């Protein structure tokens, strides 16, 4: 990775409070991805590939059921398009823990139906969305989001398959649905994924991240870089 890394954040309640954002207008617009400060269309480019690697481990937390799926290794591959992107998140060496007390739950093992161990995928469509915000002083600000959502017709973001043994309180499949709201941290070297809860997503988008229809949260961070014609160049969205 180079100094030209680009940052993305999942927008949480703490971020809203820090920015002093009090309300979101109902109006939203479709944005565009940028490379070197201009759009792919202006570059005459139809697509550009990118990859990401984990910075801090990812955890899907379901507080109402007192468990989390923790994945210390995450790979991200995808393609930027004119107004959206395709992205695949591959989670490796995953394990299931209770939240309180924080300890691994015996008998719950993450696996693939075909027998592969400790791995699952999220296949997402990422949209660039512009929202107008109002600060405490009454001034308006335009905030750029990335919205990771289910692929059309898929009905799910991904499924965590578990091999369950005696003592595991969870079902054999954990169905991940909903959306994940992210903001690009323009120019920052690290992609910080701040805890994103159903309440925040409901406020912003009228949706929430859910696992087996229970409200879920996502923690973790990764670093992304362009890998195609503009490999290593600074990128963003507006």
Residue range 116-131, pLDDT digits in tens: 555 678 888 787 766 6
Domain ranges, residue 215: 9-33+58-72+89-188+200-220
Contact residues for 33 (Cβ-Cβ < 8 A; gap 6+): 39, 40, 48, 80, 81, 82, 83, 85, 128, 235, 236, 237
**Which string of b and e fits 71-102 if b means at least 16 CB within 10 Å?**
bbebebebbbbebbbbbebebeebebbeeeee
How many domains does the chain divide into? 1
pLDDT exceeds cutoff 50 at 194 = no
- In this prediction, residue 113 has a pLDDT band, given cuts at 50, 70 and 90, of low
Residue 52 located in a structural domain: no
Count other C-beta atoms under 10 Å from residue 111's C-beta: 17
Residue 209 located in a structural domain: yes
Residue 19 located in a structural domain: yes
Residue 143 located in a structural domain: yes
The pLDDT value recorded for residue 89 is 87
pLDDT exceeds cutoff 60 at 35 = yes
Residue 135 located in a structural domain: yes
The pLDDT value recorded for residue 222 is 77
Residue range 1-20, pLDDT digits in tens: 333 344 554 444 333 333 33
pLDDT exceeds cutoff 50 at 87 = yes
Residue 168 located in a structural domain: yes
Averaged pLDDT, 176-196: 58
**Spatial distance between the Cα atoms of 75 and 79, rounded to a whole number of angstroms:** 14
């Amino acid at each position: 990775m180079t100094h030209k890394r680009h940052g993305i954040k999942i927008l949480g309640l703490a971020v809203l409070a820090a920015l002093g954002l009090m309300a979101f207008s109902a109006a939203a617009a479709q944005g565009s991805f940028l490379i070197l400060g201009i759009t792919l269309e202006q570059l005459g480019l139809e697509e550009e590939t990118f990859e990401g690697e984990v910075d801090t481990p990812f955890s899907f937390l379901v507080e109402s059921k007192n468990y989390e799926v923790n994945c210390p290794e995450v790979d991200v591959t995808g393609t930027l398009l004119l107004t959206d992107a395709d992205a695949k998140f591959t989670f490796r060496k995953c394990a299931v823990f209770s939240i309180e007390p924080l300890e691994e739950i015996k008998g719950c093992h993450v696996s693939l139906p075909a027998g592969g161990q400790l791995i699952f995928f999220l296949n997402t469509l990422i949209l660039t969305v512009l929202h107008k915000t109002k600060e405490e002083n009454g001034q308006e600000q335009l905030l750029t989001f990335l919205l990771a959502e289910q692929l059309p017709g898929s009905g799910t973001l991904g499924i965590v398959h578990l091999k369950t043994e005696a003592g595991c309180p969870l079902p054999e499949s954990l169905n991940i649905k909903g959306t994940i709201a992210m903001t690009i941290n323009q120019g920052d070297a690290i992609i910080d994924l701040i805890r994103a809860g159903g309440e925040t997503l409901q406020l912003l988008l009228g949706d929430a991240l859910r696992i087996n229809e229970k409200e879920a949260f996502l923690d973790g961070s990764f670093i992304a870089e362009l890998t195609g014609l503009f490999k290593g160049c600074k990128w963003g969205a507006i």
